[in-house]
Amino acid sequence: MFWTPLVYVLAIVAVIYCSLTAIRQTDIKRIIAYASVAHIGVTLVGLFALTLIGVEGSIIQMLSHGFVSGALFLSVGVI
């Protein structure tokens, strides 16, 4: 509980920074990587909410992120 506000601030800054950095990239692999870091920041906010909905949403986000980002990297590698 003590570190929750700090984690919120760091996660929100990471989401904003990584999203803005992803917009400026020209390499598709870098775009996917920065977007992945931004999504993990959203997951952290849900985890540190310490509510049932936040934790369940974070788990779903992590599972879908694992499948989708892996598939995106695979697709880019094929192209």
Q: Residue 54: is its pLDDT beyond 90?
A: yes
Structure tokens at 64: 């879908």
* Structure-model confidence comparison of residues 1 and 16, the more confident one: 16
Write down the pLDDT at residue 1: 82
SS3 of residue 1 by DSSP:
coil
Q: What is the mean pLDDT of the chain?
A: 93
Q: Judge whether residue 79 has pLDDT over 90.
A: no
- The count of residues in the chain is 79
Please check the confidence at residue 45 and state whether its pLDDT lies above 90.
yes
